[in-house]
Amino acid sequence: MKKLIKIKGDASFRKFYRKKNNHRSTILVFAKKEKLKNLLIYDSINKILNKNKILAPRLYKEYYSKNYIEIQDFGNETFFNKLNKKRNNKLRYFKKIINLLIRIQSIKNKKVKNFKNKIYTIPKYDKKILTKEANLFCDWYVKKNLTKSNKNKFLKEFKKIIARLTSNLKLKNDTFVHRDFHVSNLMLVNNRIGVIDSQDALIGNKAYDLASLIDDVRLKTSKSFKEEIFNLYIKKQKKLNVNKFKNDFEILSVLRNLKIIGIFTRLAARDGKKNYLKMIPYTWELISMRVNKNKLFQDLKKLLNKNFKRKLNEN
């Protein structure tokens, strides 16, 4: 007997259902909006991951004309759930995640044949995309929180600052970047780590996914723990220019979290998903932590302090 159970969704336009059929369970992923990315590209990226022995949901059947696909069920145990339990050893789990990230970053093949029998090539994560994403902060959060005249002044200065920051990136765009690599998108599957939500993957900067993991807006960790995980990653990199990497890590963390404030504001205003708003204060804390200790961000810090008093923590 077949049974469909709706399961908790994410920030995308997708809807998820668990299909139970006797002793077998699969996931149905529905997407009318952004169907290409959420179904076809999602499976293409999963195929690349699986080819490289990274556990990602396998496709069972595609019903693309009906706006859904049927994929492997990884269950409900995310690493976020594991790490949120106080007694669990966070470092032990993060060591496994860092090892996984290094394996993901070693992926060389950027092309795959999708279920429509066409070649999909992972695009580059260029400065244009980075800038567009950072501007989501202006499009939604600034628009909602500043007057029109202040908004225009802010926007003009913000764009100059973002252009300077992206120009200051040192590393090449030559690495597989998941783009949403954090503990809520990592599942515990029979003592292995399963990777989900991979449809936005691009070929970009090596520091991006580590910034996404360490400065995760969903999971609060101490500054000392963040440094410990950063150093754990660095120790495993033999041919890495640490100064260039650290520079890019901090820039990308700030840009990403500005983007996230914009996205969370959009989710609340446009899609009625107001539960994301509660994460904005901690996102500001993460931005503060990075901009307060790096002179590279002095112009951004000044601009944010001028327009959003009390948002940036001086400590």
Query: What does the pLDDT look like over 266-296, one tens digit per residue?
Result: 999 998 999 999 999 999 999 999 999 899 9
Quote the CA–CA distance of 315 and 313 in Å, as a whole number. Answer: 6
Q: Where are the domains of the chain?
A: 76-307
Q: Residues 261, 289: contact at Cβ < 8 Å?
A: no
Decide yes or no: CATH 3.90.1200.10 for domain 76-307.
yes
Asked whether the predicted pLDDT for residue 9 surpasses 50, the reply is yes
What percent helix, strand, coil does the chain show, rounded to 5? Answer: 50, 20, 30
Residue 11 confidence class, pLDDT cut points 50, 70, 90: low
The mean pLDDT value of the chain amounts to 93
pLDDT at 234: 97
Residue 315 confidence class, pLDDT cut points 50, 70, 90: very low
Condensed to tens digits (0 to 9), the pLDDT of residues 150-183 reads 999 999 999 999 999 999 999 999 999 999 999 9
Condensed to tens digits (0 to 9), the pLDDT of residues 28-62 reads 999 988 999 999 999 999 999 999 999 999 999 99
Q: Mean pLDDT, to the nearest integer, of 258-267?
A: 97
Asked whether the predicted pLDDT for residue 7 surpasses 60, the reply is yes
| Amino acid making up residue 267 | L
Q: Residues 308, 145: contact at Cβ < 8 Å?
A: yes
pLDDT at 154: 96
Q: Residues 162, 255: contact at Cβ < 8 Å?
A: yes
Q: Residues 218, 177: contact at Cβ < 8 Å?
A: no
